[in-house]
Structure 1
Amino acid sequence: MSNTTNFKNLAPKGLRIIEQTDSLYHYARVISNTRFGYQPVSVAYCKDASHVQYCVKFCSQNNKAFRIRSGGHQHEGMCSGNGVIIIDLSEMNKIEYIDNQPNQAWIPVGKQLDSVYTELEKEKQIIPGGGCQSVNVGGLTQGGGWGYSIRKFGMTCDSILAAEIVLANGTIEIVSEENQPELFWALKGGGGGNFGVVTRFKFQLSALTDYVTTFGLTWKHPEDVKEVIRVWMNLHASTEVELDPALSSSCTMILANPDEKDLDCDGIRELEEGQKSFVDGRMGGQFYGTKTDLIKLLKKCFGEDLIPEDSKFTLLKEVCYASKKKSLAKSEKETHASLARHQSILANFLNPTSTPEQEIRATNECKHRNYRVLPVAPTSTCDQPHPHKVSSSFPKKYTCDDNSEMTERIYDFLSKCCYYGDVSKYMSFHCLGGAVKKNVDKRVFAFSDKPYLLQIQGWWDDISNAFDNQSRNDEYVKWVKDFRLNIAPFTEGSFINFVDQSLVDHPETHEGLLELLEIYYGENNLSRLRKIKAEQDPNELFKFKMSIPPLIE
């Protein structure tokens, strides 16, 4: 009897295990980035910590490689692999409220953010989760966690009070600042799967204000697009007047179809000399206040010319929580405009939508590619698995001149790229500051002083990997790398939630891995994390392509 057969036969009651011969296998093996078509040997759907404990002990005793998957959104596919056992946590999805502690709850790592927001909203509460509703709590929180409450309530990991974890020795522990404080620190931004399998987090819940407003705006004229980005950068970088932390937002510069006939204030857009595609701009976010106060703030910050009246906003939704009751009445629940729904619309808005055309009609410098059998680019990056590549960084300097120069550099690079209808290519600008500047020593995040972060994104195909091919993968991955190298003189560091393994030449070597991890964690944090790894998992039971190696002294 093989080891994997034993794995299923000896499994505790209720632990569902999907093997390669099962009819649901090809559904079970899929992860968010379908660029990686891994073939794990089995997928174990754990329902509680005891199931995880069984999986960890079995893999340890039988020298079997495994990966941990809470939602499958690891951008480099490291939550899966060929021939491994996947410990899947997605069926751990019930929030447990704590008696006599109405502002605290245990939230399992497999709980999807959309469900978290929807359930907590009924109690007029929230956690500062991510911007993508389909992401699960586990990987987001352990990587730090960025979302549209970040300036108000901090990173996702800032709100955790304790964590339940299955350790390398097979024990289940509750860690906190009182019990194993070093390990608890490492779980707050140190990346998932390095020190054990976290099964649930105890969260401090935040109260929703009386009004919460989501918004979205678009610009198409080149000077407007660049001006919005410059002003946005300067607002977050200013040391004179701090931007209201009630506002968290992001912007995008999006590669747009040069064949579009969009009208703006100057009439039909035309490409300037040397350009191959249009570049559209978007800004959106969440404001803890009324839409009236939001528009006043935006007009004050960006000026009357860039901020229209409320009727001209692409997205403007206000949700009221001003009831004196803690929970919404049943009748109110039925008619209440869901904040979770507005956040979902916001996420889809800030990620570019595809156009009906699948064939580019641009300058002669761009190769015409008529993909009649291929899907268009994703209409959302949060809806389902897609092949993709991302990379992230932070600005080295962020004076007004630095911000202006980087804006021009990004716009110029995008405008000289060829637009194709099967792929969405863009740069995202994510706000920092506000509450991120607090609790700096209590989390693993080496860039708390930065005003914003940058994320290059390429997403292709509006279905999974049925028509995916390596040549297109290589082309779009190279585009992200070329973009990153183009702005490299202005940037440094990277964010582990927006992971890119290719930042160094040889990440597969020990030296290359340490060089890569230092980019994400910083020298001091990495040294501290390696010491914790040596204490918790000296034999590297938890090991994958970018796992933290122990520091053996």
Structure 2
Amino acid sequence: MACAVRSGGHSYAGWSTGTGLVIDVSPMDAVRRDGGRAVVGAGTRLIDLYGELASAGVSVPSGSCPTVGVAGLTLGGGLGVTSRAYGLSCDALESVRLVTADGRILNCNREENADLFWACRGGGGGNFGVAVSFTYRTHEAGDVTPFSLRWPWARAAAVVRGWQRWAPAAPDEVWTSLHLDTGPGTGTPTIEVIGVALADAGAHMDRLTAAIGADPDSSDARSRPFLDAMKFLGGCAGQTVEQCHAQGSLPGQRPGGNFPRTDYAGKSHLAYKPLPDDAISTLFARFEQGNDVANRSALMDAMGGAIARVGPGETAFPHRKGLFCVQYLAPDTGWLRATHASMEPYMRGTAYVNYVDPDLRDWAGAYYGPNLGRLRKVKAAHDPGRLFRFPQAL
């Protein structure tokens, strides 16, 4: 019988459930500080991770969606809003407790079960066993400054060109994401850069504007406590930690939850080189065609900084030299597939395993690159019978 492992339940392909045995670790959501470390249950949602650590003025580098589970995020690498400053979620990981296919409970770190520890830092969730606990190094988390800049669509090409020259090499203390969107109720495309600066954002906003060569139509920046900033970026500003959950009584939900469930699919690429002009034009055409269609997005998250100072083989996450990660989102899978296909010639054969994509043909090479062979050896050593299997399992 196949086993599906469930934490946050955010698998785009729905592989955190199945017709066999579903092992749901969601109730394992305790967060405990231990000096400069945090011991975190595998069912913890990001909003609870941030909320529990906020009173101590510390955090762990993670993502922005409040309902995402820390386990899946970390096991796939863990790109997030402080990754350029502090590394991926898996870079802050010091140990993981794993239940293997033969029922053993293993502590995995640099000294014990080092092969599994390496594989659990970017090798994808559900491949090697059931992670039940993570121990992370924490970093200080004081006030930070979320900011945004918006330009008219007529300036969009200049914005992409300037942003992709500046963002991956910007100071580590600033992270940015370039958003192409057609918002709810409209098919009109928009362009915006959002970001987080660990200190004052003004100088970074000025340098980005200079790189683009055009002043934004509007901009905004406001210093906030770290937890408030994560709520703001996650779409639940001004709400309590409980309200930043989905409503319900199931594990991971809260009776007073107010975070909406959305319905869309996603695909991804990793850009190792700046997009040439014809790639930018190709992407824009996907947003300009069928302008009556809403809720389409391409999100370009800057990499570089601390991410790139770890070698591609030091952890299982291979895309250390990527300039930025592109995530395509839409409820319309036809538009999504056509958009991804149109950009494939420019970012050939790369994808982020946490944005799992059931359509990929060479998914293993796209997710794991040169680390694939070593990952398959770890899989064979610890799950030779492939108890943990799903359509894209190793």
Q: 1:160 to 1:214 in 2, by over 3 A?
A: same
Task: Select 1:80's aligned residue among 17, 21, 25.
Answer: 17
Q: Distance in 2 between matches of 1:346 and 1:76?
A: 25
Equivalent in the alignment of 2:232: 345
CA distance in 2, matches of 1:294, 1:489: 32
TM-score by length of 2: 0.88
Counterpart Cα distance in 2 of 1:404 and 1:117: 39
CA contact (8 A) 2:150 2:191 kept: yes
* CA deviation profile, 1:16-38 (whole Å, cap 9, x unmatched): xxxxxxxxxxxxxxxxxxxxxxx
1:434 to 302, 305, 310: 305
Residue 196, structure 1, aligned to residue 129, structure 2? yes
Residue 495 of structure 1, CA deviation:
0.4
State the Cα deviation string for residues 192-241 of structure 1 (Å, max 9, x = none).
Answer: 111110011110001125x411112323x22322222221111145xxxx
SS of the equivalent of 1:491 reads coil
In the alignment, which residue of structure 2 is the partner of 1:249? 176
Q: Using the alignment, how far apart are the partners of 2:277 and 2:53 within structure 1?
A: 40
Counterpart CA distance in 1 for 2:272 and 2:197 is 28
Q: What whole-Å deviation, never above 9, does each CA across 1:454-510 have from its counterpart, x for those lacking one?
A: 111014xxxxxxxxxxxxxxxx11211111111121112100011111022xxxxxx
Q: Distance in 2 between matches of 1:458 and 1:538?
A: 37
Cα pair 2:273 2:323 within 8 Å, conserved: no
Contact 2:5 2:16 in 1 (8 A): yes
Match of 2:251 in 1: none
Match of 1:318 in 2: 223
The equivalent of 1:533 in structure 2 is: 379
- 1:499 aligns to what? 356
Tell me whether 1:389 sits opposite 2:265 in the alignment: yes
Q: Give yes or no for the alignment of 1:520 onto 2:367.
A: yes
2:276 is paired with a residue of what secondary structure? helix
2:149 is matched with which residue: 213, 217, 228?
217
Q: What is residue 28 of structure 2 aligned with on the other side?
A: 92
Distance between the aligned counterparts of 1:485 and 1:545, measured in 2? Answer: 21
Q: What secondary structure, in the 3-state scheme, does the structure 1 residue paired with 2:345 have?
A: helix
Tell me the amino acid that sits aligned with residue 103 of structure 2.
G
Aligned residues of 2:129 and 2:388 also touching (Cα < 8 A): yes
Q: Quote the residue 1:408 is aligned against.
A: 281
Q: Mapping of 1:127-138 within 5 angstroms? A: 127-138=60-71
1:299 shift after superposition: 4.2
Which residue is equivalent to 1:326? Answer: none
Give the paired residue count. Answer: 371
Aligned in 2, Cα 1:146/1:396: closer, same or farther, shift over 3 Å? closer
Is residue 390–residue 457 contact of structure 1 (8 Å, CA) maintained in 2? yes
Whichever of the two has the greater Rg, that structure is 1
Q: 1:547 & 1:164 partners in 2: Cα distance? A: 20
Match of 2:93 in 1: 160
Is residue 287 from structure 1 mapped to residue 197 from structure 2 by the alignment? yes
**Contact 1:255–1:419 (Cα < 8 Å) also in 2:** no
Whole-angstrom distance in 1 between the partners of 2:259 and 2:356: 20
CA distance in 2, matches of 1:438, 1:202: 22
Matches for 1:168-187 after TM superposition, within 5 Å: 168-187=101-120
Provide the C-alpha distance between the structure 2 equivalents of 1:388 and 1:150, rounded to a whole number of angstroms.
25
Q: Is the 8 A contact 2:8 2:69 kept in 1?
A: yes
Q: Contact conserved, 1:317 with 1:342, CA < 8 A, in 2?
A: no
Cα distance in 2 for residues equivalent to 1:439 and 1:306? 35
Per-residue CA deviations over 1:61-89 (Å, capped at 9, x if unaligned) read xxx332110110111111111x3222111
The answer (yes or no) to whether the contact 1:166–1:196 under 8 Å persists in 2 is yes
Pairing 1:28-47 to 2, within 5 Å after superposition:
none
Matched, 1:70 2:7: yes
8 Å CA contact 2:161, 2:212 repeated in 1:
no
Q: CA deviation at 1:397?
A: 3.4
Gaps of 5+ in 1: 1-63, 261-276, 320-337, 350-381, 460-475, 505-514, 549-553
Shift of 1:347: 3.5
Contact 1:165 1:200 in 2 (8 A): yes
Q: Contact 1:155/1:436 (CA < 8 Å) preserved in 2?
A: yes
Structure 1 residues 111-168: Cα deviation after superposition (integer angstroms, max 9, x where no partner): 1111111221211111110121111100000010111101101111100000011111
- Which range moves more in the overlay, 293-302 or 139-148? 293-302
User: Cα distance, 1:301 vs. partner?
Assistant: 4.1
3-state SS, counterpart of residue 318 of structure 1: coil
1-side partners of 2:315 and 2:47: how far apart?
25
TM-superposed deviation, 1:419: 2.4
Shift of the 478–525 alpha-carbon distance from structure 1 to 2, 3 Å rule, reads: same
1:408 maps to a residue whose letter is: S
Which sits farther off after the overlay, 65-74 or 294-303?
294-303
- For structure 2, the residue ranges without an aligned partner over 5 or more in a row are 237-257
- TM-score where L is the length of structure 1: 0.64
% identity of equivalent residues: 26
Deviations 1:73-106 (A, max 9, x none): 111111111x3222111111111222xxx21121
Q: Distance in 2 between matches of 1:227 and 1:418?
A: 21
Deviation at 1:297, TM superposition (A): 4.2
**Cα distance between partner residues in 1 of 2:226 and 2:351:** 30
- Tell me, in whole angstroms, the C-alpha distance in 2 between the residues paired with 1:235 and 1:295: 11
* Structure 2 equivalent of residue 490 of structure 1: 346
- Which has the higher relative contact order, 1 or 2, with Cα contacts under 8 A spaced 6 or more apart? 2
Q: Which amino acid aligns with 1:248?
A: W
CA distance, structure 2, for counterparts of residue 187 and residue 254 of structure 1 = 33
